[in-house]
Amino acid sequence: MAMRIKVEPESLVGEDAALPVVCVVTTDQQFLDELVPELIPWFQVVLRADFEDLARWTREAGGVAVLLDIDTAEEDGKEVQGGLPALNELRKLNQDFILISLSRSHTRTVEKRALEAGAGLHFRSPVDISELRLALITALDKRIEDLTHAKIPRQTLESSCFQEFIGGSEPMRFVYDAIQQVADSNVNVLIRGESGTGKELAARAIVALSRRAKKPFIRLNCAALPENLIESELFGS
């Protein structure tokens, strides 16, 4: 038996907060009667009958996908795709949205305009609901995969950083451990290494992790001082 759903601006179908939210914008009640029962096992469905302030509405609803019926009432006997500007606005505001446009028009021009406006997919009426559901699930899986892949380089970089050092190899971790061990003590530390290996970075890291972190870090080039003046410059006359 068909499931009757009244389309209200903020109506929500499905109460499982763990399910992704799909925002549906249409006035086609017959289409909703078929669509909503098909989506409910996989998604929460939020319904809207107009294009007003869609960006705010989809954001507050927590939507990951928008099904947008771009058709409006006929003008002079011709259907008008008044939802195209709304589609374009949503795409500009959120590049990660899964946007699917719907239209009763079968012309390629309308489909082309919808895709140019930002739709990732376009369906013509009558819509194959099972195909639409599969397209939504596939698009959501791809979005999750893309976001996961985008996080991996950042997580890898974060895990391989220490103070101003970048590197996660075993030898570098030995250096990080040594810095942490001496930073908490009052011993004098001699840092040795060839030019360009990061001796000053190590010194800055030791100071940053020590109780002197808020005091000035004074860098002195001893090689630039005359041999007979080094002692007085460092320790006073």
As for how many domains the chain has, the answer is 2
> What is the residue-level pLDDT of the chain in tens, covering all 237 positions?
333 333 444 455 555 557 889 999 998 888 999 999 988 888 899 998 888 888 888 888 888 899 999 986 555 545 566 788 888 888 888 887 899 999 988 888 889 999 999 999 999 988 999 999 999 989 888 877 776 665 545 554 455 666 677 666 777 777 778 888 888 888 888 888 888 778 888 888 888 888 888 888 888 777 788 888 888 877 776
* Beta-carbon contacts of residue 81 (< 8 Å; ≥ 6 apart): 70, 71, 72, 103, 105, 110, 113, 114
Q: Tell me the residue type at 97.
A: F
Q: What are phi and psi of 82, to 5 degrees?
A: -70, -10
Give the H/E segment covering residue 199: helix 199-209
CA atoms of 116 and 120, how far apart (whole Å): 9
Question: Is the residue at 38 inside a domain?
Answer: yes
Beta strands in 55-197 (DSSP E): 63-69, 72-75, 78-80, 98-103, 121-124, 161-162, 165-166
Same domain, 109 and 169: no
Same domain, 198 and 125: no
Domain coverage including residue 186 = 160-213
Which position has the token pair 């890898």? 156
**Is the Cβ–Cβ distance between 98 and 65 less than 8 Å?**
yes
* 126 cis-preceded (ω within 30 degrees of 0): yes
Q: What are phi and psi of 189, to 5 degrees?
A: -120, 130
Same domain, 26 and 136: yes
* CA angle (12, 121, 24) in 5-degree steps: 15
Same domain, 72 and 96: yes
* Beta-carbon contacts of residue 143 (< 8 Å; ≥ 6 apart): 64, 96, 98
Question: Is the residue at 226 inside a domain?
Answer: no
CA atoms of 10 and 177, how far apart (whole Å): 55
Among candidate residues 123, 155, 187, the one where a domain is terminated = 155
Looking at residue 221, what is its pLDDT? 77
Looking at residue 81, what is its pLDDT? 67
In our burial notation (b when 16+ CB lie closer than 10 A, e otherwise), range 27-53 reads ebeebbebbbeebbeebbbbbbbebee
Same domain, 121 and 173: no
Straight-line distance from the first to the last Cα atom of the chain, in angstroms, rounded to the nearest whole number = 99
